[in-house]
Amino acid sequence: MASYTVAQKTARKRALGILLLLFILSVFIRLPNLNRPVSKHYEFNTAVVLINIMSWRQTGGGDQLHYTPVINFQHAGDKFPPNNLNIDKEGNTVYLSYGPGMFIIPYFFYQWLKLPEVPVYLQILNLVFHLTCIILFFNLSEQLLPLKVTGRYFIITAGCCFMIFSPGVLWFLGNGYVNIGIMLPFVMGVFILIMPMLKDPSGITAIRLILLAILIIILIYIDWYILFLCFLTGVTALLKCRLNKKYGWLLLVLVLSVGSGIMMVFFQFTSHMGKDAVVSFWFHRFSERGLNLAGSTFSQKIYYLFAYFLTSYLPLIILIIISFMRNRRSKIFPEWSDDEILFLRLCSV
């Protein structure tokens, strides 16, 4: 048993070393696109974040606008008449679609290091998020893959390799700074915490619940995705409550942290815009971006869904299909563990 543990530790160190080298290789692949004028696919988001940093600095600091994201400069010609929806009383065009975390994180990064508002530093911050995401995904994969699986760390390394080099990940955690990219490390952290708790009630501990609540609030501050994950986790916890009452604590933490996160974003925005403006903005954006079942709009969105999946993950999708077909015939690959199936069900949102 001791020799097995030593072998596992050696394999783990080797795998981490390989992943670090692969990440460095991915940086070299992205070098031609780094530190150049913003112009390509979804770099509008990069421009908006940089404009916000400049605008907050021009007002004397983000606190002057209650850290409400704005997408215009502070010159008189850059402002519009207030409309109590997306333009505040000073004429700034505000962006309230989701929490301001996507804007606040780079703002304090630039402020802390006293950086000029140029794209390369935002791209470097993005690469830091990418590396963090890979490390956390490595740890999550260790949780999901049983110890008895042959070539365990080879499989984990291969999975992390796809996370590093998938086209969508390379771009959106390189040049295309966006809320969906920077939330990934926090999402990985949530999965690392909830998987042991859903697997066994003994995994429900005070420290895990506290960390889970913090991560959920941070994620709501960045994006709304965590609400769907919390809903599925909450339903699972509710069903398990009859087996063990400790799942009631998990359900309570999910409800309280979701409520706290939403209220924190809401009250921050209302402190600058007022309650009516925030409510109107949120309802307007939901109706605009929700799935409209009428005619071609729905077809268009379904097309975009498949198009983005194919452009971002086509090599991985092809490999999964080939592996599935080969495994049906010859059972080359091991069956999925209960942990892996639970993870797939939760992350399917």
Q: How far apart are CA 194 and CA 3, in angstroms?
A: 31
Instruction: Assess if residue 315 is contained within a domain.
Output: no
pLDDT for 4: 56
Helix (H, G, I), strand (E, B) or coil at 168: helix
Q: What 8-state DSSP symbol labels residue 175?
A: T
How many Å apart are CA 262 and CA 265, to the nearest integer? 5
Helices (H), ranges, 42-183: 44-58, 101-113, 119-144, 152-165, 167-172, 179-182
State the CB neighbour count (10 A cutoff) for residue 337.
Answer: 14
CA atoms within 13 A on the CB side of 119: 18
DSSP for 189-233, please give it.
HHHHHHHHHHH-GGG--HHHHHHHHHHHHHHHTT-SHHHHHHHHH
DSSP label at residue 40: S
| Averages of pLDDT over each 10 residues, the chain, 349 residues | 70 94 95 88 91 96 95 92 88 93 96 95 95 96 86 90 90 89 95 93 95 97 94 93 92 97 96 92 77 57 78 79 69 63 67
Tokens describing residue 312? 């971002």
Distances (CA, A) of 266 to 66, 70, 86, 300: 12, 16, 15, 31
**Other CB atoms closer than 10 Å to residue 53's CB: what's the count?**
22
Separation of CA 59 from chain center: 30
Q: Rg of the Cα trace of the chain?
A: 22
In a domain, 309, yes or no: no
Determine the pLDDT at residue 297: 64
pLDDT at 145: 86
DSSP secondary structure, 56-93, as one string: HHHTTSGGGGTT--B-S-SSGGG-----SSSB-TTS-B
The 3-state DSSP class for residue 94 equals: strand
303 in a structural domain: no
Number of domains present in the structure of the chain: 1
Within-domain flag for 256: no
Is residue 70 one of the residues assigned to a domain?
yes
Is 195:143 a contact under the CB 8 Å cutoff?
yes
DSSP secondary structure code for residue 326 in this structure: H
Contact 170, 30 (CB under 8 A): yes
Structure tokens at 145: 């893959």
Q: Which domain holds residue 29?
A: 1-182
pLDDT of 2 reads: 46
Distance CA 142, CA 129 (A): 20
Question: Can you give the pLDDT at residue 313?
Answer: 80
In-domain check, residue 76: yes
Phi, psi at residue 186, to the nearest 5°? -70, -35
Nearest to 24 by CA among 184, 131, 139, 160: 131
For 35-47, b where at least 16 C-beta lie within 10 A, e where not — what string? eeebeeeebebbe
Write down the pLDDT at residue 344. Answer: 67
Give the whole-angstrom CA distance, residue 56 versus residue 73: 9
94 phi and psi, to 5 degrees?
-100, 160
